[in-house]
Amino acid sequence: MTPFPHSADSAVELRHVRLDRDGRTIVDDIDLRIPNGSVVAILGPSGSGKSTLLAALTGELPVAAGEIRVLGQPIPRSSRDLLNFRRRMGVLLQGNGLLTDLTVADNVALPLRTHTDLDPQIIDTLVSLKLHAVGLGKVGNAYPRELSGGMARRVALARALALDPPLMIYDEPLTGLDPIASGVVMSLVQGLNQSLHLTSIIVTHHVRETLPICDLAVVIANGQVIFQGTPSELESSTDPLVRQFLAGEPEGPIRFDAEPRGETV
């Protein structure tokens, strides 16, 4: 298959993408373009396929049909190329993934020690810069258990930034955070996107907290992209699917996922 022509100002492009899990189609015929430099929210009801889409962007889940380009490249197939490809994305997973027996500084240093042969002193300087970038310059010697949930999330963010990736992917970055910590994390995501010239993709259920910092919103439901546009276009959309999703109504045209994992239709 000839790769589709790439638009130079896109960080991520999907054309006619179908994603299957265990032989079941989760999303089909997805077309999506995420411009370089933007902050984009991927929204949708539970089970609509948001995490599945992220898994496809990181190359963890191969496409069943169609094409994906990330940072100008098709997703590589060989595991070695995939490793290099993933270095260019910072992923903040649900639950932080911090190692509890390592200090904050060692957690942030981990990707640098694993993926580079930089001098230890340079690594220390980079770690300190990353911790400052998330407003935590003084906690390097602490252990994750000594931090609040919001601070731990920011350490995970510093670690995701360690290798200076041009693309950041956030999977539910606000889960378990109180409104103040949520506000801090959201403004960091926005500030870092701007100051480091990143592109940020945020998968979230926290629509109200996330939309204010986004340039674009994408809504997935019924196996399709039912909306892509600006947050204000989303708010003013009259599409019944979009209205039902925003209002959180159980009755309406959105079919809710009713199947357990692993069952096929």
Ligand X SMILES: Nc1ncnc2c1ncn2[C@@H]1O[C@H](COP(=O)(O)OP(=O)(O)OP(=O)(O)O)[C@@H](O)[C@H]1O
Contacting residues toward ligand X, per CB under 6 A: 21-22, 26, 44, 46-52, 257, 259, 261-262
**Closest approach of Cβ 94 to ligand X, in Å?**
8
How far is 116 from 119, CA to CA, in rounded Å?
9
Of the pair 50, 69, the CB lying nearest ligand X is at 50
Q: Which is nearer to ligand X, 44 or 173 (CB)?
A: 44
Q: Please, what is the minimum distance in Å from the beta carbon of residue 188 to ligand X?
A: 22
Q: Which is nearer to ligand X, 46 or 78 (CB)?
A: 46
**Number of Cα atoms under 13 Å in the Cβ half of residue 92:** 30
CA torsion through residues 142, 143, 148, 151, sign: positive
* Residue 19: CB minimum distance to ligand X, A: 8
Closer residue to ligand X in complex, CB, 44/66: 44
Q: What radius of gyration do the chain's Cα atoms show?
A: 19
At its nearest, how many Å lie between ligand X and the CB of residue 224?
13
